[in-house]
Structure 1
Amino acid sequence: MSSSDIFIGETIGTAILILLGGGVCAAVTLKASKARNAGWVAIALGWGFAVMVGAYISAPLSGAHLNPAVTLALAIKDGNWGDVPVYFAGQILGALIGATLVWLAYYGQFHAHLTDREIVGDPGVRDTPAKSVEAQEKGAGPVLGIFSTGPEIRNTWQNLVTEIIGTFVLILAILTQGLNQDGDGLGALGVLITSFVVVGIGLSLGGPTGYAINPARDLGPRIVHALLPLPNKGGSDWSYAWIPVAGPLIGAAIAAGVYNVAFA
């Protein structure tokens, strides 16, 4: 695979991943969405399908990493670090594009949601923050969850460990079940297996933090949330943002180490 193929494949695949994954969060969350309040099962299934579609599209070009944690684990497994920056760059750019496309697809719903006084408070009253009490407590605006993750209980070490554990499961499953014949990305069957694993992680381990399990999936959309001209959008919760980056990378490194000791 050439560097240009890797970059293009990761950019397109990650953009599709975030478009569909963020899209299901928007569908379930936003006022005037036909899927509003569809629930956690819909979100978990939506992210699983998002992984499947993005991975199948990008696999011929880049091996469908779509996740810096996957790229890191494969580099540790094989000792090949040369393409890591290219993968990372494509993944972050793709995440930025995907999150922007979610905003465009749900433009009217974002406006309706963020101008609803019951949701964001009364922006017309001076000194009344335009976000809910819950959002104030978490340092996050009322639609940040569409773009990035956040904990239900803010406990730094628990939140970090939850992300480590979830990513460990994902990466170990990919390394043992999902790689193509060259071992540098997902194979056709591996894409399907990985998609089901993502659904399983969401249903079983997603409750505490929203299961980022992918640094690009969280960081790229969080940046977009901070930059978009959304009315009354509130904060982007940057004090939490390091956890869904560091946790998945640590979990990936541990999983790669376990694989090299137990399976290689």
Structure 2
Amino acid sequence: MGRGFAYFIGWLIAASVSGAHFNPATSLAVYLVEGKYARQIGRLLLYWLFQLMGAYAGILLIYLIFKRPVLGYFLWPNLQDPTPLFWYFSPAGNIYYGKVVLLEILNTLTFTWVYLLVIYKPSLRTVDEIMKGIAVSVTLWICYFLCAGSGACLNPAFGLAQTTYQIGFLNGADQNGNGFASLIWVYFPMPFFGAILAAIFFRLNVFFDNRALKQVPVAAPIAPGGGGAVVI
């Protein structure tokens, strides 16, 4: 919930300026949807650079505030129950990677798809920016909730910066930071994959909407001296 509210504040500040992406995966989806590939590639790379810088700045603030390992800030699946019912680990301690991968892709897809609908769907263009921000922020909160302790990254910049934090801080404290970083191959590329799927589904949504509009009967003008309108 805290991350959802934080995104809403960021939306109010940046939506009218930059689109309030804050996420390389979201920026990639916007890039694919707009389709201006040659003209917008420089802008995309610039977004990615500053998003990564922002992620590392946030990790630095976390370090300055706590100055000690905080388990809740580690990017790692959680055990949901202390009983023998394991959600993300086998009885031998091995991670069920399929669950983590599925949830990262599915929830990134869901958030990004809703973001694209709110920004680009023609019927929502007149909706107030605050209402759009509430819709996207609540969606983000729900997606984090539906991750059910899988790590809930959904953001490649966040995943890379937090993994760096885990490696550097824990290894500096004579703990196993490398072990916590073993899921970077999930938390970095999988949000990109989910965002690409969201862009494809959004383009399909627009295609079928336009196709349906073309099939709606249109009333022709009444001819002089004629009776009623003719439906074509």
Matched, 1:69 2:25: yes
Structure-2 separation of matches of 1:151 and 1:86: 34
Q: TM-score normalized by structure 2?
A: 0.70
Matched, 1:210 2:210: no
- C-alpha change, 1:155 and 1:106, in structure 2 (3 Å) is same
Q: Where does residue 249 of structure 1 map in the other structure?
A: 192
Deviation track 1:118-170 (CA, whole Å, cap 9, x = no partner) reads xxxxxxxxxxxxxxxxxxxxxxxxx3540434364122222111111011110
Q: Spell out the pairing of 1:122-133 with structure 2 (5 A cutoff).
A: none
Give 5+ residue unaligned stretches, structure 2.
80-87, 89-94, 208-232
- C-alpha change, 1:180 and 1:49, in structure 2 (3 Å) is farther
1:189 to 120, 131, 134: 131
Matched, 1:84 2:40: no
Structure-2 separation of matches of 1:52 and 1:218: 20
Structure-2 separation of matches of 1:225 and 1:179: 37
Contact 1:172 1:255 in 2 (8 A): yes
Q: Where does residue 258 of structure 1 map in the other structure?
A: 201
Contact 2:168 2:177 in 1 (8 A): no
Contact 2:75 2:163 in 1 (8 A): yes
Contact 2:166 2:181 in 1 (8 A): no
Structure-2 separation of matches of 1:215 and 1:151: 19
Give 5+ residue unaligned stretches, structure 1.
1-44, 115-142
Structure of higher CA gyration radius = 2
Which stretch has the larger CA shift, 92-101 or 211-220? Answer: 211-220
Contact 1:219 1:245 in 2 (8 A): yes
1:57 to 1, 7, 13: 13
Contact 1:166 1:201 in 2 (8 A): yes
Cα distance, 1:54 vs. partner? Answer: 2.5
Q: Where does residue 37 of structure 1 map in the other structure?
A: none
RMSD over aligned Cα atoms: 2.6
Structure-2 separation of matches of 1:180 and 1:263: 8
3-state secondary structure, aligned to 2:184: coil
2:55 to 91, 95, 105: 95
Structure-2 separation of matches of 1:169 and 1:232: 39
Deviation track 1:179-202 (CA, whole Å, cap 9, x = no partner) reads 599x9xxx4432221111111112
Q: TM-score normalized by structure 1?
A: 0.62
Cα distance, 1:178 vs. partner? Answer: 4.3
Deviation track 1:217-252 (CA, whole Å, cap 9, x = no partner) reads 221122133234853453142321110112111111
3-state secondary structure, aligned to 2:198: helix
Structure-1 separation of matches of 2:155 and 2:53: 14
Letter in 1 for 2:3: W
Question: How many residues were matched structurally?
Answer: 183
Cα distance, 1:210 vs. partner? Answer: 2.4
- C-alpha change, 1:60 and 1:259, in structure 2 (3 Å) is closer
- C-alpha change, 1:214 and 1:57, in structure 2 (3 Å) is same
Matched, 1:172 2:113: yes
